[in-house]
Amino acid sequence: MDNKQMSALLEILNDSVIFDADMASYSTLRAGGRAEALCFINNLPLLTGVIGFLNRESINWMTIGKGSNLLVTDQGIKGAVLILKGELAAISRRSGNLVTAGGGLSNRELIKYCIHEGLSGMEFLAGVPGTLGGAVMMNAGAYGEETGSFIEKIGVVTSSGNAEELAGSGINFSYRKSSIEERSVIYSITLKLKNGERGQVRERVEKNWSMRRESQPLDMPNCGSVFKNPPGGYAARLIESSGLKGFKIGGAMISPKHANFIVNTGDAKASDILALIEVARKRVKEDSGILLETEIRVVGQ
């Protein structure tokens, strides 16, 4: 990105951009390199405008949420990183059991809203870090529920910069994935929820939170589950069976509390985490014949 492009980006975004941004500060793993530009987008016209500019200038770009399920390489990101803010990270309206929110809304804020409004369905997301847009894109799930089951419609900006609406019934959701174009940006989601009683919704949320606190290393920087569960099994059990709980490379460690979590003990580099991922995959393959597939998104040079 040259000086002229940087100046143009500053003008378009009204200074809502950070150049040479430390991406470790925007990742729940607290590791990784820097990005050429970190852009904060607070409405749809700005989103389409920025993507159009970046495409015309042949500048690589990507979108991130809260930085969970994400690892930026130590070499960093060449190009622009987009983060949805403002109205694109808020609940915009409710009509009966239909709730529309921006793709950048945090799962935590959604859960708080559902408790307050007595709306049921999304309790399984309690304690899941990240944004609603990320949960839709990867069909996040827990306790037998998945995000895709509650999607009425979504608004996306395609990789070419065009805004479109997609009906939930036309999206193919499967385990930890969806048929939504990978480089599109989900700017709006309409959820079809169920009426519930505030106290009961809160009770289910607190129960899920409690189970996560007991079983997951939420007190240390992590990115959530590193590997997808293989058919009929659990990645954590396979990693534990290979004797890797507590195994460290540099500042990265396979959590002694939950073997499908890698934690940053304080000074982990992205290369430490990537090396640990490869050790786990190799050992599990040798011991069980199963090749684990990563759930974490690795980005950068």
| pLDDT score of 137 | 95
Please, where in the chain does CATH 3.90.78.10 lie? 235-299
Q: Right CATH number for 87-215 from 3.30.2270.10, 3.40.50.12280, 3.40.50.300, 3.30.465.10?
A: 3.30.465.10
d(C-alpha 216, C-alpha 229), whole Å = 16
What are 170-181's pLDDT values in tens digits? 999 999 899 999
d(C-alpha 145, C-alpha 273), whole Å = 29
Residue type, 18: I
Tell me the mean pLDDT in the region 211-225: 93
DSSP per-residue string spanning 71-90 = EE-TT-EEEEEEEE-GGGGS
Please, where in the chain does CATH 3.30.43.10 lie? 3-86
121, 142, 155, 233, 272 from 282: Cα distances, Å:
38, 27, 40, 17, 15
Q: Which residue in 60, 239, 190, 68 sits closest to 138, CA to CA? A: 68
Name the pLDDT band for 15 (thresholds 50, 70, 90): confident
CATH fold label, 3-86: 3.30.43
Residue 254: count other Cβ atoms within 10 Å of its Cβ.
Answer: 26
Please, where in the chain does CATH 3.30.465.10 lie? 87-215
Tell me the mean pLDDT in the region 10-34: 95
Element at 298 (helix H, strand E): strand 297-299
Q: Catalytic residues, which ones?
A: 176, 225, 295
Tell me the mean pLDDT in the region 83-106: 97
| pLDDT score of 42 | 96
Domain 235-299 = CATH 3.90.78.10 = yes
What are 122-161's pLDDT values in tens digits? 999 998 889 999 999 999 998 889 999 999 999 999 999 9
Q: Both tokens of residue 244?
A: 């890797």
- Global pTM reads 0.93
